[in-house]
């Protein structure tokens, strides 16, 4: 028991050593650039709503930063995923492979397509899809019919595979692409957490048919609420814009909509904030790497806990800094959470796994032992880009 | 032909007489109050996203202004309708009665519940539901089974009735409530266009089980993008808040969601704008009534065109000022649209009727002859609250 108390105290001391006295939120926006200038410009123009130059500029800036050929700004990351899945061909009655270890938006978006999430396991190295294990599973439990991957147990088509770059750490993307090609699955990358993260120098969210970003208030950059769809396919980008803007055909005054559309456009007001935030993204990413390095030194001497580093060949945005408890200390997770939060350093465990949530308890799934193992051992610690400079 | 040219010229002249030289948009935001102050305050607080004091205040202010017991702020009017329909009990396979004469969001929201829109006709007096005609139709084509209204042709339950207050003019609400009670239909009021409109002194959107508002950029007040759900039922309000915020159960750090939820919350940044806009709503409504009075004088002498006034016992917000062409001049609609737009006064016809859109062409419907008659004859003319003061 004395050792147990010790680790939670040691974690508090390590965090305090990096951040100084609290409080520190898990992830706060940093709004130190042109946010006010652009918001005021937007307000003065009166174009605060569905059209305006900041939406156009934000989309161009996002494409430029990520290297995607096209970016379509939308109202949040969940909406981005919903539309990306639809554009990837997900239909009512399909199944979509998603991680059990993810935020609930990934699973919800699948249900918005009247499809069923099908959960795969993660690997400890990336916190994302375990490609080898998923290949074994698909080999054993699916078959190809007319170039489609069919779940033999349910008889349903598995249409797409959604890798999620957890806490900003890229998954094994080469493995994902090979697997998807082999099993005829469309790849939609959930890059909600990984703006600024690259795999072999290429930005996450640009490898799949489509990728999605989030600019919620807790993300690396924020638009209040917002998201984006990335794609290199011009026709898909046009269709994404069409679907997210009520599917209205262009006309001076006629209101004709040619398919079921959505009101998912990002308001110009929020895009104005996004343009200012994107300008600061490179310096935020530097600050977050700096924070990682400081945490790394602070946690290097602790037994029982490891600070997660970016996978090889990857650059992580270090959206959320993450501790992993070893087997001997996993039972101290809640004590560490309580002690750090009591010391005003906001920490939290990873999300409850999707298959443990009531709405998804009957969804198909493979063995999820690593995700379960991880879910008992992960702790996110304060990660805002402003934390280091605040302390210095 | 000379008479035809004359009417379009007369309309341009009448509008110019009220507005002075153009250009004039159909409906522009008026941002002349505390918008800057509150946006800056929001930015300085860093609470730009999903929680913050402006969201709470906006909800209280909306409830106070409308007299609804509860208001839940959401990301737009479409999202408000989607959730209101769900909370009214609309399930997959149901039908929902909505006007053919409406913006496409009403119909889309029904499909998001995996239900089918069933279109009813409008009356010329209010532009909204023709209650007597709908009663005849339901009497002839539906039957009550286990206290549910069943469409005899499709066998599906007709779960709800959605009156829409077109251009701000309240429908015959007493008629709607009696009809809904008679046929066991839940009433969800689409008050997207009618913030500030009252029926016998009570605010639209507060009569049904739930009501919905929109604060899109073209509406009377704007939050960039935004909407709200109104209800007098505390349990429904709590559920609306829960569903629109990912259905997460309250906990210091645990992420447990107990049903399929949505990311429909209004960002605090947009709510800040909304608080400032609501402060100005009374003066905007006065300005819009003033604009109506001026248009009324200007159009009084014209033959072939009537400016629509609020129905008896109602106060309209006059969101969009509306001309109705008589039978002898209906064929001049497009010429008037062309002439006014060419003269830089933005005008437009009413939306294409829902059953004429490809995605809804097979939806069930009653005779829609009045809606069709209206759709050939309605023209919206510039309606911004700032237009009169700009000219004076």
What CATH number does residue A369 fall under?
A: 3.90.1150.10
pLDDT at residue A392, rounded to an integer: 41
The domain that holds A196 is classified in CATH as 3.40.640.10
Query: Can you list the residues of chain B whose pLDDT is less than 70?
Result: 1-5, 389-392
Instruction: Examine the domain organization and report whether A182 and A254 are in the same domain.
Output: yes
Tens of pLDDT along B117-129?
Answer: 999 999 999 999 9
What value does the mean pLDDT of chain A take?
A: 95
- Rounded to whole angstroms, the Cα distance separating A73 from A79 reads 10
Q: How many whole angstroms from its chain centre is CA B232?
A: 19
- Rounded to whole angstroms, the Cα distance separating A291 from B52 reads 27
> Cβ(A176)–Cβ(A161) under 8 Å?
yes
Could you tell me if B50 lies within 8 Å of chain A, comparing CB atoms? yes
Exposed e or buried b for every residue in A225-240, given b needs 16+ CB within 10 A? bbbbbbbbeeebbebb
- Rounded to whole angstroms, the Cα distance separating B153 from B162 reads 21
Last residue of a domain, one of A224, A244, A277: A277
Instruction: Examine the domain organization and report whether B285 and B269 are in the same domain.
Output: no
Cβ contact, residue pair B108, A246, below 8 Å:
yes
Using DSSP's 3-state secondary structure scheme, residue B34 falls into coil
Cβ contact, residue pair A29, B46, below 8 Å:
yes
> Cβ(A198)–Cβ(A59) under 8 Å?
no
Cβ contact, residue pair B216, A79, below 8 Å:
no
The answer for B 82-141 residues in CB contact with A (under 8 A) is 103-105, 108, 111-112, 114
Cβ contact, residue pair B253, A347, below 8 Å:
yes
Domain count along chain B: 2
Out of A43, A217, A265, the one facing B35 most closely (by C-beta) is: A43
Residue from B34, B48, B340 to probe the interface with A (highest A Cβ count within 10 Å): B48
Which range marks the domain in which residue B162 is found? 35-277
Tens of pLDDT along B34-90?
Answer: 999 999 999 998 887 777 899 999 999 999 999 999 999 999 999 999 999 999 999
Angle at A187 between CA A371 and CA A359, to 5 degrees: 50
Residue A256: pLDDT over 50 = yes
Last residue of a domain, one of A256, A277, A298: A277
pLDDT at residue B40, rounded to an integer: 93
Cβ contact, residue pair B48, A29, below 8 Å:
yes
Q: How many whole angstroms from its chain centre is CA B327?
A: 27
Instruction: Examine the domain organization and report whether A252 and A327 are in the same domain.
Output: no
Instruction: Examine the domain organization and report whether B350 and B237 are in the same domain.
Output: no
pLDDT at residue B391, rounded to an integer: 43
Residue A267: pLDDT over 70 = yes
CB atoms within 10 A of CB A256: 15
Last residue of a domain, one of A277, A292, A314: A277
Reading the block at residue A233, the tokens are 């396919």
Closest CA–CA distance from residue B182 to any residue of chain A (Å): 32
Using DSSP's 3-state secondary structure scheme, residue A167 falls into helix
Does an H or E element contain B157, and which?
strand B157-161
Out of A103, A105, A352, the one facing B254 most closely (by C-beta) is: A352
Instruction: Examine the domain organization and report whether A90 and A24 are in the same domain.
Output: no
- Quick one: average pLDDT of A138-161? 98
- Quick one: average pLDDT of A212-231? 96
| Residue B143: partners with Cβ closer than 8 Å, 6 or more residues away | B149, B150, B152
Cβ contact, residue pair A260, B40, below 8 Å:
no
Instruction: Examine the domain organization and report whether A204 and A125 are in the same domain.
Output: yes
- Nearest-CA neighbor of A269 among B61, B29, B194? B29
- Rounded to whole angstroms, the Cα distance separating B143 from B182 reads 11
Instruction: Examine the domain organization and report whether B113 and B160 are in the same domain.
Output: yes
Using DSSP's 3-state secondary structure scheme, residue A275 falls into helix
pLDDT at residue B52, rounded to an integer: 83
Angle at A240 between CA A239 and CA A242, to 5 degrees: 60
For residue A49, list chain B residues with Cβ-Cβ distance below 8 A.
29, 216-218, 222, 224-225
DSSP-derived letter for residue B288 is H
Reading the block at residue A154, the tokens are 């349910």
Could you tell me if A17 lies within 8 Å of chain B, comparing CB atoms? no
pLDDT at residue B137, rounded to an integer: 98
Instruction: Examine the domain organization and report whether A49 and A121 are in the same domain.
Output: yes
- Rounded to whole angstroms, the Cα distance separating B134 from B157 reads 16
Kindly report the pTM of this predicted structure.
0.96
Q: Which ranges in B245-332 belong to alpha helices (H)?
A: 268-299
Q: Which ranges in chain A belong to alpha helices (H)?
A: 2-19, 35-45, 53-66, 77-87, 104-112, 131-141, 173-183, 234-244, 268-299, 333-342, 369-375, 387-391
Residue from B40, B46, B79 to probe the interface with A (highest A Cβ count within 10 Å): B46
- Rounded to whole angstroms, the Cα distance separating A347 from A376 reads 14
Instruction: Examine the domain organization and report whether B88 and B56 are in the same domain.
Output: yes
CB atoms within 10 A of CB B106: 26
Instruction: Examine the domain organization and report whether B134 and B226 are in the same domain.
Output: yes
Cβ contact, residue pair A261, B76, below 8 Å:
no
pLDDT at residue A324, rounded to an integer: 98
Residue from A34, A38, A49 to probe the interface with B (highest B Cβ count within 10 Å): A49
pLDDT at residue B1, rounded to an integer: 43
pLDDT at residue B5, rounded to an integer: 54
Cβ contact, residue pair A31, B49, below 8 Å:
no
For residue A347, list chain B residues with Cβ-Cβ distance below 8 A.
253
Determine the residue of chain A that is closest to B114 in CA distance.
A114
- Nearest-CA neighbor of A386 among A20, A62, A14? A20
Cβ contact, residue pair A111, B260, below 8 Å:
yes
Residue A390: pLDDT over 80 = no
Instruction: Examine the domain organization and report whether B133 and B236 are in the same domain.
Output: yes
Percent of chain A with pLDDT over 90: 93
Determine the residue of chain A that is closest to B333 in CA distance.
A253
Determine the residue of chain A that is closest to B51 in CA distance.
A217
Tens of pLDDT along A340-377?
Answer: 999 999 999 999 999 999 999 999 999 999 999 999 99
Instruction: Examine the domain organization and report whether B162 and B112 are in the same domain.
Output: yes
pLDDT at residue A4, rounded to an integer: 45
């Amino acid at each position: 028991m004395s050792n147990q108390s010790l680790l939670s105290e040691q974690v508090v001391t390590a965090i305090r050593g990096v951040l100084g006295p609290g409080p520190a939120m898990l992830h706060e926006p940093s709004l130190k650039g042109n946010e006010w200038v652009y918001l005021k410009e937007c307000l003065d123009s009166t174009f605060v709503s569905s059209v305006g130059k900041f939406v156009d500029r934000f989309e161009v800036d996002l494409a430029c930063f990520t290297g995607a050929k096209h970016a379509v700004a939308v109202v949040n990351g969940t909406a981005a995923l919903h539309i990306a899945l639809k554009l990837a061909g997900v239909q009512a009655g399909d199944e979509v492979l998603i991680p059990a270890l993810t935020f609930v938006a990934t699973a919800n978006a699948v249900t918005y397509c009247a499809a069923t999430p099908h959960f795969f396991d993660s690997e400890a190295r990336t916190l994302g899809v375990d490609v080898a294990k998923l290949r074994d599973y698909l080999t054993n439990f699916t078959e190809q019919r007319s170039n489609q991957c069919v779940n033999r147990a349910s008889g349903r088509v598995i249409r797409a595979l959604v890798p999620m770059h957890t806490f900003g750490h890229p998954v094994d993307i080469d493995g994902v692409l090979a697997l998807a090609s082999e099993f005829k699955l469309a790849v939609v990358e959930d890059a909600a957490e990984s703006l600024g993260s690259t795999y072999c120098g290429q930005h996450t969210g640009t490898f799949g048919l489509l990728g999605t970003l989030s600019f919620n208030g807790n993300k690396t950059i924020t638009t209040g609420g917002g998201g984006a769809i990335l794609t290199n396919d011009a026709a898909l980008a046009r269709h994404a814009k069409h679907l997210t803007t009520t599917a209205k055909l262009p006309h001076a005054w006629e209101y004709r909509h040619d398919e079921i559309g959505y009101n998912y456009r990002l308001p110009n007001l929020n895009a104005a904030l996004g343009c200012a935030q994107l300008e600061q993204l490179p310096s935020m990413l530097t600050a977050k790497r700096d924070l990682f390095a400081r945490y790394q030194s602070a946690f290097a001497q602790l037994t029982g806990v490891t600070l997660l580093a970016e996978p090889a060949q990857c650059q992580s945005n270090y959206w959320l800094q993450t501790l992993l408890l070893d087997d001997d200390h996993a039972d101290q997770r809640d004590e560490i959470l309580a002690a750090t939060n009591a010391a005003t350093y906001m920490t939290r465990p990873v999300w409850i796994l999707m298959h443990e949530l009531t709405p998804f308890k009957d969804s198909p799934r493979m063995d999820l032992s690593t995700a379960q193992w991880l879910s008992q051992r992960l702790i996110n610690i304060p990660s805002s880009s402003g934390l280091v400079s605040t302390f210095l």
